[in-house]
Structure 1
Amino acid sequence: MSRTLSVAVKAYPHTEFLASGFAAGGRPVEVSHVDPIYRAFAPMVRELRYDVSELALATFLQAREAGVPIALLPVVLSGDFHHHSLTRWPGSAEFAPADLAGKRVGVRAYSQTTGLWVRGILHEEYGLDAKDVTWVTTEGPHVAEYAEPANVERTEGKVLDVLRRGEVSAAVLGPPALDGAEGPLVPVIPDWHAAEEAWGARHGTVPINHLLTVRRDLLEAEPGTVAELYEAFGARIAERKVADPDPGPRVRALRFGVTDELVAGLQVAIDYALQQNVIRTPVTVAELLDDFSRLA
């Protein structure tokens, strides 16, 4: 019997097909149930634990810079606008985003992709540079080789707890944390919904959070298997987008293939990452997709 393919992805509507006897290249798929899904990222980039894995965009950028042999597939599994992801505790003093200069802001990890987008927005729209804030984190980077900037600190607990205790003026919270938060956290950016749509119109994309990656040795040894899996993800994403007549940004973010929106999203992320020292070596979108281009 063919060896199973180990796949680590979150249970989205567009990934449910993997759990119902799906096979690629004649090889059955075994889904690793990692919750939350970001717990799969360090094992993927440090140990190559999975054949195929969902991976945060910032983590992939750092892993590529570190020479980790994984390849990016143009399959966006999750994304969202993030102006609303910068929050303060209810009842705390109101302030403008630019007032965070010299202040402390909580984020799960400096290399968290939601944090990448928020810091980019603060720089682009409010002139606030990442180096002018102390970033208080509860976790380190997934990529062991990455050295954090000097203005990154570590603390204990969850980011919500750090914000609740008043140890930070604001906090960056990704969709799972925001969705599960108790009480109405207050977005720091005013009129955030309009600001998000304006950002999207300006850049021609919805920010990317997680994409699909594959071990490079599997891609090189079994391109047909990877291609079959890639096409299956694409079909499910297309079905989900067609089924939603009025999609919100989380559905609009889903993408398959090398589209203008995908390229725009990757390019802005590269620009933001270089600004923030999330990566230190310039890279092009074409280079990110080089392995996939050989497959195609």
Structure 2
Amino acid sequence: MPDQPVLRTVLADYPHTLPLKNGEVTSPAVRLDFHAVSPVHKAFAPMVRDEAYDLSELAIVTALQAIAYGRPVVLLPAVVASRFQRGCLIAHSARPVTPAELPGKRVGVRAFTQTTGMWVRAHLSEDYGLAPQDLRWITRDGAHVREYEDPAYVEHGIGEATLADLLREGRLDAVVLGNDLPEGEEFVPVIPDAAARDAEWWRHTGFMPVNHMVVAGESAVRRAPGAVREAYHLLRRADAAVTRPDGEPSPTMFGFERLRRPLEIVVDACLEQGLLPRKLDVGEVFAPAAAVLGPDAD
């Protein structure tokens, strides 16, 4: 009997990934060798630059940039993390800021390419007509994809202080935070009706804003296409094992057709914000995965 293929894997802990990590959902056709990386975004640069893993969670903006610049990743039609984003733009309660006051303000974000920042800018554009260059974007990190360069209006050099501390000190007027969004009354949302606007956006589009998807390394696809295909089905089985309330937005999505419209929206937003060197067609984006997964992916 041939050895069981092994894929070096990075996935954050979610209700829909825990069945894979705790051995509840398995397959004799592949073993997922999980590597702990926390926070998970620290796995992104090694994945797109060096194929450090065979299977990895990856932010959608980073994945699209990797494809545009010819990096060795294959984007699978699997969303593992989504989030409503308007509430991720915050100001200090002592110095609140309204959307109308944002032009010219200093807005901190970990990286200009961070997916949460992309969504916040997209919402500011659609809700208030604000262009990215209307604000001063202050960042700490560059892009995970080495070939990409930030637009000229993006400023660097935050230093070691956290975005929250810079906001407390008044050195920033607003910041974009995601999983590290603080609780309590010290900070206030810049968009006051963020939750209502997000709910309306979901009712209109039918999906939550996509944050992280799953990619396979090109080397893994060449070496063990059947293992990659089975890993995709494991992701779907693990997600199906999670019970969620009916009618509530889901943070996961699977399938080429289901993801066509979400990716079209993300590609358009990335182009408007100067995050991509050219327009990507969704068919182009998914072609390598379609060759591996076949029609069963939908």
TM exceeding 0.5? yes
CA contact (8 A) 2:5 2:224 kept: no
User: What residue in structure 2 maps to residue 19 of structure 1?
Assistant: 21
Distance 2:61 2:28 in 1: 30
The CA deviation string for residues 212-254 of structure 1, in whole angstroms up to 9 with x for no partner, is: 00012322332211111101101111222xx1225754xx121
Q: TM-score, normalised by structure 2?
A: 0.91
Q: How many residue pairs end up in the alignment?
A: 288
Distance 2:55 2:204 in 1: 33
Distance 1:264 1:3, change over 3 A: closer
Distance 1:183 1:274 in 2: 36
CA contact (8 A) 1:18 1:31 kept: no
Q: Which amino acid aligns with 1:265?
A: P
The CA deviation string for residues 115-172 of structure 1, in whole angstroms up to 9 with x for no partner, is: 0000001111101000111111121111111100111112112221221221111111
User: What residue in structure 1 maps to residue 277 of structure 2?
Assistant: 280
User: What residue in structure 1 maps to residue 204 of structure 2?
Assistant: 202
From 251, 254, 272, the equivalent of 2:252 is 254
The CA deviation string for residues 167-226 of structure 1, in whole angstroms up to 9 with x for no partner, is: 11111111x111x55644211112111111122223332100000000123223322111
- 1:103, distance to aligned residue in structure 2 (A): 1.3
Task: Say whether residues 1:62 and 2:65 are aligned partners.
Answer: yes
From 164, 167, 172, the equivalent of 1:163 is 167
The CA deviation string for residues 44-71 of structure 1, in whole angstroms up to 9 with x for no partner, is: 0111100000000011111111110110
CA contact (8 A) 2:90 2:190 kept: yes
User: What residue in structure 2 maps to residue 80 of structure 1?
Assistant: 83
User: What residue in structure 2 maps to residue 294 of structure 1?
Assistant: 291
Provide the secondary structure at the position in 1 that maps to 2:283. Answer: helix
User: What residue in structure 1 maps to residue 193 of structure 2?
Assistant: 191
CA contact (8 A) 1:34 1:40 kept: yes
Task: Say whether residues 1:142 and 2:167 are aligned partners.
Answer: no
Distance 2:141 2:166 in 1: 13
Distance 2:72 2:59 in 1: 16
Q: Which amino acid aligns with 1:64?
A: I
Task: Say whether residues 1:263 and 2:260 are aligned partners.
Answer: yes
CA contact (8 A) 1:90 1:185 kept: yes
The CA deviation string for residues 255-293 of structure 1, in whole angstroms up to 9 with x for no partner, is: 121243x22221111111000001120011111111121
- 1:31, distance to aligned residue in structure 2 (A): 0.5
- 1:18, distance to aligned residue in structure 2 (A): 3.0
What value does the CA root-mean-square deviation take over the aligned residues?
1.8
Identity %: 38
Q: TM-score, normalised by structure 1?
A: 0.91
The CA deviation string for residues 58-96 of structure 1, in whole angstroms up to 9 with x for no partner, is: 111111111101101111110111111111112213x32
- 1:24, distance to aligned residue in structure 2 (A): 5.4
